[in-house]
């Protein structure tokens, strides 16, 4: 297992120096933030991320994310050209030493929360999701004030995009994903880069948009579309774990060595489609973090792991979910657990 830590590039208030001071962190997880989705990343930009990390004694072996443009998910006419660009990014990243690429296939919205600063009794705050709040908004009317949504569209652009998705149900989305994987995975195979699809967060559809990377059945289906080791998963415990029907430990055993990247965080489920994020330890939330790491260890997991969203603690202000302090505590907890599990075996 190689511990890693997400870094959002030059605009990130968390510095590479700070990351390098967290014991046990081997690689940063980053991306080129200077290129719009769908375009080819500049070799110099990739090299610069790598050089900056290396100067601090950190590797740069994981990218999160190479964004998949909406037109690919929609199966639009220009999809083949966009897929070529995606493949070119795989080649360039591989040449720079990147071994794992995280991406997602969620229509329109990436991760969604209804609150970014839910106050906790101990004075910290964290990200929270309540389906009732989310569904009380109508993105078609422009009353979408959803936090945690990186892409910004105008009301009209969003309306047009949602319209294009009216014909896309889960089956169609699966078929567009299949088309994408059949083109991309052979390139990843040649380049020795592991592709790691991120589960949908939360793992259910909303606003009439389909979501398919949600449960064991769909993840297995996705892995079978191209049955090569490079067609793999980001096992995000907080995303998949938001649905209590997902048995995370059994999923780890069924996916085994197709898990290339583990995002490990805990959440507390407080009702039907209601949860908030917590500190990483098992005792703080609804997920058995020890059991999850033990299952990964039993599967001889040798990919990258990272602590995921953290709470805001000790008065830190920063990028929601991505402050320094709580994620650093998470990295230490996870590497401590891993060492203990490792030594018992």
Q: Active site includes 198?
A: yes
Residues near 315 by Cβ (< 8 Å), separated by ≥ 6?
Answer: none
Q: Which is nearer to ligand DNO, 8 or 159 (CB)?
A: 8
Binding site for ligand DNO (CB under 6 A): 64-65, 102-104, 110-111, 198, 309, 321
Q: Which is nearer to ligand DNO, 232 or 321 (CB)?
A: 321
Q: Which is nearer to ligand DNO, 130 or 200 (CB)?
A: 200
Q: Active site includes 7?
A: no
User: What is the Cα 138 distance to its own chain's centre?
Assistant: 25
Of 265, 271, 260, residue with least CA distance to 287: 265
Q: Active site includes 322?
A: yes
CB of 235 to ligand DNO, least distance (A): 12
d(CA 322, CA 56): 20
Q: Active site includes 263?
A: yes
Sequential DSSP letters for 59-78:
EEEEEE-----HHHHHT-TT
CB of 80 to ligand DNO, least distance (A): 22
| Active-site choice (322, 325, 326, 333) | 322
CB of 244 to ligand DNO, least distance (A): 20
- How far, CA to CA in Å, does 113 sit from each of 129, 148, 201? 5, 6, 9
| Active-site choice (71, 130, 201, 308) | 308
Q: Active site includes 102?
A: no
CB of 202 to ligand DNO, least distance (A): 11
Of 282, 220, 229, residue with least CA distance to 250: 220
CB of 68 to ligand DNO, least distance (A): 8
| Active-site choice (7, 100, 198, 320) | 198
| Active-site choice (32, 71, 236, 320) | 236
Q: Which is nearer to ligand DNO, 307 or 321 (CB)?
A: 321
Q: Which is nearer to ligand DNO, 51 or 151 (CB)?
A: 151
Whether 189 and 228 have beta carbons less than 8 Å apart is answered as: yes
| Active-site choice (200, 309, 325, 333) | 309
d(CA 35, CA 48): 14
d(CA 296, CA 253): 8
Q: Active site includes 308?
A: yes
d(CA 22, CA 117): 25
Q: Which residues are catalytic?
A: 198, 236, 263, 308-309, 322
């Amino acid at each position: 297992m190689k511990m890693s830590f997400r870094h959002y590039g030059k605009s990130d208030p968390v510095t590479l120096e700070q990351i390098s001071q967290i014991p046990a962190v081997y690689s940063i997880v980053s991306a080129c933030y200077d290129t719009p989705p769908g375009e080819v990343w500049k070799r110099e930009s990739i090299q610069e991320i790598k050089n900056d990390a290396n100067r601090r004694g950190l590797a740069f072996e994981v990218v999160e994310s190479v964004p998949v443009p909406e037109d690919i998910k929609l199966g639009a006419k220009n999809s083949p050209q966009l897929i070529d660009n995606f493949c070119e990014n795989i080649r360039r990243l591989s040449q720079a030493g990147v071994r794992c690429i995280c991406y997602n296939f969620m229509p329109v919205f990436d991760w969604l929360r209804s609150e970014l600063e839910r106050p906790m009794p101990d004075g910290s705050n964290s990200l929270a999701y309540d389906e009732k709040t989310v569904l009380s908004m109508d993105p078609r009317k422009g009353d979408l004030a959803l936090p945690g949504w990186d892409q910004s569209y105008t009301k009209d652009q969003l309306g047009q995009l949602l319209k294009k998705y009216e014909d896309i149900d889960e089956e169609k989305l699966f078929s567009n994903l299949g088309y994408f994987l059949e083109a991309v995975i052979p390139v990843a195979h040649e380049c020795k880069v592991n592709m790691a699809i991120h589960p949908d967060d939360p793992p259910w559809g909303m606003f009439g948009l389909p979501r398919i990377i949600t449960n064991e059945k769909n993840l297995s289906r996705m892995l079978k579309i191209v049955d090569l080791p490079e067609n793999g998963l980001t096992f995000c415990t907080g995303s998949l774990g938001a649905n209590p029907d997902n048995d995370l430990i059994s999923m780890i055993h069924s996916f085994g060595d197709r898990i290339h990247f583990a995002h490990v965080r805990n959440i507390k489920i407080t009702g039907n489609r209601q949860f908030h994020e917590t500190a990483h330890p098992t005792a703080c939330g609804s997920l058995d973090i020890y059991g999850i790491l033990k299952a990964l260890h039993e599967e001889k997991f040798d990919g990258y792991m990272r602590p995921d969203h953290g709470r805001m603690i000790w008065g830190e202000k920063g990028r929601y979910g991505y402050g320094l302090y709580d994620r650093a505590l998470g990295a230490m907890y996870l590497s401590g657990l891993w060492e203990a599990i490792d030594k018992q075996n």
